[in-house]
Structure 1
């Protein structure tokens, strides 16, 4: 970086102090843009998202179908490593995408399902109803057009499923304190 010469530095003396101002070297590389030519990347992203929004329902239906297929494979073959991983990935993808696509309750339910898969000591001992209730709730939210939680039922369903899953996980992990902290932590999914 180039050093400033003593003549480039401005010193203003006051009765109690001095103010030293150095020239800003970035001014040489800064390019001014007229207000009408300013780029708004957030606005462009929102526009692109709005253009794609008609496809969100289809994308969520595909993700919900993938989750159901993953659970069907578990029911058929048991919790093999591949089946467990696919079930987790399908739920995790919904957890990440659902709020963006307008299904925040589905994201909360998918997070709850991910937590069961992550923290249950033995997935084969988890009641099948806990899995099927999560999967059926996600499919109902996606297929019944409950975008943006227009029905308070989907929000209440997601809260109850999370509570049931947390109670189950706290019970089965009562002798595993290293898991209890993660289980009892609040949700990080938007819309919870």
Structure 2
């Protein structure tokens, strides 16, 4: 139930559920013993077995976004969906135990952010990123211990930097 006074530029939202009713308050003795970092680490350990599946799902989403580019054509909309998928992987990869995949996704985002128009997308390079991420996730290429993955990252990064260098740098808003 939102309320807005006629002379106000904001809206006060009332949460539908009082979350205080959902948690138990710690006693002073329990509070002294509680270590939030240990609790968070324990929670991560409980869900860690699912990380591989989650990363596989993210890779499938990226492949699906790439399939849309191939099917529907290159447009601002299809590039935006592709970028969002790569950006999600970039953001989640470290937490999910795939830092190398995150580096590849970061380089892909750099490419997508720096092409002047969707038609400037180098299709072969973009497909290389998608296939590299898909393969690395399937093969479990998680970190720099995977030499093939590192070489692939460096090749894609170099190709991206070379390609992007031909365009003038985009201006940033610093208001």
TM over 0.5: yes
What's the secondary structure of 1:63's corresponding residue? helix
Q: Are 1:61 and 2:56 counterparts? A: yes
- Name the counterpart of 1:146: 141
Consecutive unaligned residues in structure 2, runs of 5 or more: 1-27
Please give the TM-score of this superposition, normalised by the length of structure 1.
0.69
CA–CA separation in structure 2 for the residues paired with 1:82 and 1:125: 14
Deviations 1:1-42 (A, max 9, x none): xxxxxxxxxxxxxxxxxxxxxxxxxxxxxxxx6699422111
* CA shift in 2, pair 1:80/1:46, >3 Å: same
Q: Equivalences for 1:70-85 in 2 at 5 Å?
A: 70-85=65-80
Computing the radius of gyration from Cα coordinates, the structure with the larger value is 1
- Name the counterpart of 1:45: 40
Deviation at 1:84, TM superposition (A): 1.6
- Name the counterpart of 1:92: 87
Deviation at 1:88, TM superposition (A): 0.7
CA–CA separation in structure 1 for the residues paired with 2:154 and 2:34: 41
CA–CA separation in structure 2 for the residues paired with 1:80 and 1:145: 32
Whether the 8 Å contact between 2:98 and 2:142 is mirrored in structure 1 is yes
Whether the 8 Å contact between 1:103 and 1:149 is mirrored in structure 2 is no
Moved over 4 A (4+): 33-36
Match of 1:165 among 143, 160, 164: 160
- Name the counterpart of 1:101: 96
Whether the 8 Å contact between 2:101 and 2:141 is mirrored in structure 1 is no
More strand by share: 1
Number of residue pairs matched by the alignment: 145
Match of 2:130 among 135, 143, 152: 135
Match of 1:122 among 117, 136, 143: 117
CA–CA separation in structure 2 for the residues paired with 1:54 and 1:88: 27
What's the secondary structure of 1:146's corresponding residue? coil
Please give the TM-score of this superposition, normalised by the length of structure 2.
0.75
158-167 or 122-131, larger mean C-alpha shift: 122-131
